[in-house]
Amino acid sequence: MVEGFCGLNSIKNKILPLKERAKIVDEWLKERLDKLLPELMLKEGFDMWIVDGREYNEDPVMFSLLPSTMLSARRRTILVFALRRDGSLEKLVLSRYGIEGFYEAVWDPEKEDQFTCLTRIVRERDPKTIGLNFSENFQHADGLTYTEYNLISRALGDYMNRVKSAERLIVQWLEKRIKPEIDVYPGIVGIAHTIIREAFSNNVIHPGVTTTEDVVWWMRQTIFDLGLEAWFQPTVDIQAPDNPPQNFGVQRGNIRKKIMPGDLLHCDVGIRYLNLCTDTQHNAYILKIGETDAPKSIENALKTTNRLQDILLEEFEIGRTGNQILKSALEKACREGIKGRIYTHPLGFHGHGAGPIIGLWDNQEGIPGRGDYEVIEDTCFSIELCTYHKIPEWGDMEIRMALEDDIVFTNGKPYWLHGRQEQLYLIQ
């Protein structure tokens, strides 16, 4: 069981009003722009980084660079980051509306058009290397649209010879957490755990009456009522002798939705709070009359899945790629007789975040591109995986025990942000 449980009424008190959240997020943004971004630009060899997006068609990285009061780009917003010789960073905005307190407004629409201004800004600073947002590997780093690319190309002219993909810069900007974010993250994951524990209890589930869809919408409504955001629609599924597990990615008809005694429940839930995402999969068992525990083989399945988590975390090391970690972990699991899959992903501003992906449920051979990216300090991952087990009590039917909990990789080691599930939730 995940430690540190408190009820929904308790967590309501810790969720901040919108104004207070905005203050925190904006403080983090200033620290990230002033300290983190110049370090990353220097590390990756960029003198200038240009981020361009139009209203409602923003670059995926744009929101992470804007203050809380800007819910989208305005008309066309062009951000220019220029590294000075002393290592400090110029933060410029070419927009009719400006972004006071965060960026210096450098475009006067009465004197020049927007891209003429961009031409002037670039030539005045004469950068040796310019980053633009295009990437074959990471969707997070591929936000420059065809039209905007052509407009920027014309504006830069000969300076296009100095342009290269900002992929590595963007990925590290999105995935690397500053200390205040790391300090806060466990509490955010704790909120998600609390919602799941309440959902997987008799306060929500009445066996023989409640359906999986009822629980899904209870989760979604509760997240909304708490003033949080579900970054994907939660899911709840059943495994039982009359309801075998679905194959990944396959929708089958005639699947029972009503929750009954003897069912093994599984959920997948993700929330966003203070611009940081969680991603969790936990499991519950519905006790039959006379039972005080789940069948022993199901309990053992959970323990084995915990062991696969341990194996995976043992392989985390600075500089190792996602594909290297995947290969080593699967080989060790095989030696221990564990049948399973690993499909772990970075976590942060996006639920499926930028950074080294460690397997996909439908690809356990390594992921070209995204899996070739290396692990770096101060990043977070959702440890998502599963194992397979025959259950003698269910006529040797094979079940899939899937778990997902969140870690931070810091000081060269992985740490659970708010524990992990080590015991089944039991519902009478």
Domains, the chain, in order of start with CATH, read 47-165 (3.40.350), 177-427 (3.90.230.10)
The predicted-structure confidence for 254-303, as pLDDT tens digits, reads as follows 488 999 999 999 999 999 999 999 999 999 999 999 999 999 999 999 99
Q: What is the pLDDT of residues 321-335, one digit of tens each?
A: 999 999 999 999 999
Tokens 């290269």 belong to which residue? 164
Q: For residue 219, what pLDDT is reported? A: 98
Query: Residue type at 421?
Result: Q
In the predicted structure, residue 4 carries a pLDDT above the cut 60: no
For the stretch 348-398, pLDDT in tens is 999 999 999 999 999 999 999 999 999 999 999 999 999 999 999 999 999
Asked if pLDDT for residue 162 goes beyond 90, the answer is: yes
Q: According to the model, what pLDDT value does residue 7 have?
A: 78
Identity of the amino acid at 220: R
Q: How confident is the model at residue 100 (pLDDT cuts 50, 70, 90)?
A: confident
How high is the pLDDT of residue 9?
83
Binned at pLDDT 50, 70 and 90, residue 188 comes out as very high
Q: What is the pLDDT of residues 22-31, one digit of tens each?
A: 999 999 999 9
Q: Say what the pLDDT of residue 62 is.
A: 94
pLDDT of amino acid 10: 81
pLDDT of the residue at 248: 65
Q: Is the pLDDT of residue 249 over 70?
A: no
pLDDT value of residue 3: 42
pLDDT over threshold 60, residue 345: yes
| pLDDT at residue number 6 | 57
The pLDDT score that the predictor gives to residue 239 is 96
Evaluate if residue 250 carries a pLDDT over 90: no
Per-residue pLDDT tens digits for 63-91: 999 999 887 777 899 999 999 999 999 99
Which band of pLDDT confidence, cut at 50, 70 and 90, is reported for residue 136? very high
Predicted local confidence at residue 67, as pLDDT: 92
Q: What pTM was estimated for this model as a whole? A: 0.94
User: What per-residue confidence (pLDDT) applies to 252?
Assistant: 47
Instruction: Name the average pLDDT for the chain.
Output: 94
What is the model's pLDDT at position 2? 43
Q: Which residues contact 209 (CB under 8 A, 6 or more apart)?
A: 258
Lowest mean pLDDT among 107-121, 197-211, 234-248: 234-248
Q: Which residue has the higher pLDDT, 72 or 250?
A: 72
- The pLDDT, as a whole number, for residue 74 is 79
Give percent of the chain with pLDDT exceeding 70: 97
Q: What local confidence, expressed as pLDDT, does residue 346 receive?
A: 98
